[in-house]
């Protein structure tokens, strides 16, 4: 059957989604972005990927987060997005912030990994072709490469913007001191860093402890949190065992041995707090991040429209009482000796 043409919902900006300024920039980002790391590759049904992308945009999600090697297979999430870009989203291109990255392994040989100018420049050209785009909104250095001079990686980002291939640049997973070097370098070269992308959720608080989160704010750089649901652990997904088809059955990034009875018992306690707040656990985990205005956006993953719809519901309640916050900390944080 031929699919009817896509018309974006007229209510997509009806106030359900809110938008936050990204650092000291002119760009507003939706509090919830959609990431295509998993579930949008050529191993996944195209119709499901398409439905999730349509649903997201119809509900005010204007930011789509990609990288060269998202799939599986590598490159195929960008191809999926490119197909939907061509068939559905082309009229709405100027309503979207589309991101991609290079920094992890992508193609064989010495030029398809890490932080060289050679790799970043070639990779972005490939990404643009796969996505059917003339330019990308945000191009990220996907990770810090200690073996490449920082100036080389950063100058490549500057030149990518100067050539009009990206509007803004960001960094992901750079450690504290390197991130400060990047902020200073990019600012001095008239290409201020727009955004830092880091792993952050109720369980993984390293960006708080290392100062990365505060540092971004101090430098006028936005912050976007990836894996906000700890890949599904911070949801009801694993409360009654490991369901067939869940991420813990599928890949090396979340293995079943992480889902221990001890962890499940903590998640069950969190689930009770969420229920008392009138939220699903996924919603509470996202609200917990978004209560902090330094978190410009959270990048959620999703394997169905139902999950996406549930997650979006977090926006209805972003405030926490101090009792709720300390109850969450008591469940998750290691107890310090008296
Ligand atoms: N910069 C980086 O290095 C980096 C690294 C990782 C991710 N990211 C970005 O961050 C994005 C999100 O990462 P992530 O996929 O790990 O995020 P996540 O939101 O922590 O996990 C997503 C997974 O949680 C489950 N889930 C989502 N919503 C749910 C709901 N409402 N109820 C129950 N389960 C739910 C699904 O698992 P099932 O699949 O089991 O259904 C889904 O695949 C990526 O797509 C990517 O754009 C960036």
Phi and psi for 34 in degrees, rounded to 5? -110, 130
CA dihedral 325, 329, 332, 337 (to 10 degrees): -170
Distance between CA atoms of residues 120 and 33, nearest Å: 24
Report CA(232)–ligand 1 centroid distance (Å): 6
Taking the domains of the chain in order of start, what are their residue ranges? 19-232+290-315
Distance between CA atoms of residues 10 and 130, nearest Å: 29
The reported pTM is 0.98
The residue whose CA is least distant from atom 39 of ligand 1 is 247
Relative to the CA of 247, which ligand 1 atom is closest? 40
- Half-sphere exposure of residue 207: CA atoms within 13 angstroms, side-chain side: 28
For residue 331, the SS3 value is helix
The CA-to-CA distance between both ends of the chain, in Å, stands at: 67
Confirm if 142 and 169 have CB atoms less than 8 A apart. no
The residue whose CA is least distant from atom 5 of ligand 1 is 226
Relative to the CA of 253, which ligand 1 atom is closest? 16
Measure Cα distances from 246 to 23, 176, 255, 298, 303 in Å.
35, 34, 10, 21, 9
**Architecture in CATH of 19-232+290-315:** Alpha-Beta Barrel (3.20)
Q: Is the peptide bond before 218 cis (omega within 30 degrees of 0)?
A: no
What is the pLDDT tens value at each position of the chain, 338 positions in all?
457 789 999 999 997 899 999 999 999 999 999 999 999 999 999 999 999 999 999 999 999 999 999 999 999 999 999 999 999 999 999 999 999 999 999 999 999 999 999 999 999 999 999 999 999 999 999 999 999 999 999 999 999 999 999 999 999 999 999 999 999 999 999 999 999 999 999 999 999 999 999 999 999 999 999 999 999 999 999 999 999 999 999 988 999 999 999 999 999 999 999 999 999 999 999 999 999 999 999 999 999 999 999 999 999 999 999 999 999 999 998 765 55
Q: CB-based burial of residue 80 (10 Å sphere; 0-12 exposed, 13-18 middle, 19+ buried)?
A: buried
Report CA(77)–ligand 1 centroid distance (Å): 14
Residue 19, H or E segment: strand 19-21
């Amino acid at each position: 059957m031929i699919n009817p043409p896509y018309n974006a919902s007229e209510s997509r900006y009806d106030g359900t989604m809110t938008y936050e300024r990204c650092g000291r920039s002119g760009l507003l980002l939706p509090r919830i972005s959609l990431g295509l790391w998993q579930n949008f590759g050529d191993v996944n049904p195209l119709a499901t990927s398409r439905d999730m992308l349509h649903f997201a945009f119809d509900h005010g999600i204007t930011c789509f987060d990609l990288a060269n090697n998202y799939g599986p297979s590598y490159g195929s999430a960008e191809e999926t997005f490119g197909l939907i870009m061509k068939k559905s989203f082309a009229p709405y291109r100027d309503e979207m912030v589309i991101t991609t990255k290079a920094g992890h392994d992508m193609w064989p040989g010495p030029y398809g990994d890490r932080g060289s100018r050679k790799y970043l420049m070639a990779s972005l050209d490939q990404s643009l072709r796969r996505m059917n785009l003339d330019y990308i909104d945000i191009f990220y250095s996907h990770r810090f490469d200690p073996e490449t001079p920082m100036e080389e990686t950063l100058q490549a980002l500057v030149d990518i913007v100067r050539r009009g291939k990206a509007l803004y640049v960001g960094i992901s997973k750079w450690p504290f001191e390197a991130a400060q070097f990047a902020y200073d370098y990019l600012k001095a070269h008239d290409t201020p860093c727009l955004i830092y992308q880091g792993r952050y959720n109720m369980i993984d608080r390293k960006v708080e402890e290392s100062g990365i989160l505060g540092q971004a704010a101090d430098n006028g750089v936005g912050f976007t949190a990836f894996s906000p649901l700890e890949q599904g652990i911070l949801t009801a997904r694993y409360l009654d065992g490991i369901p067939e088809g869940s991420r813990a059955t599928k890949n090396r990034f979340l293995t079943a041995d992480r889902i221990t009875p001890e962890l499940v018992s903590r998640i069950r306690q969190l689930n009770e707090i969420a229920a008392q707040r009138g939220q699903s656990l996924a919603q509470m985990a996202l609200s917990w991040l978004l209560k902090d205005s330094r978190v410009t956006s959270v990048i959620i993953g999703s394997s169905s429209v139902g999950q996406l719809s549930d997650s979006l519901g977090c926006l209805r309640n972003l405030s926490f009482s101090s009792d709720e916050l300390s109850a969450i900390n008591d469940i998750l944080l290691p107890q310090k000796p008296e």
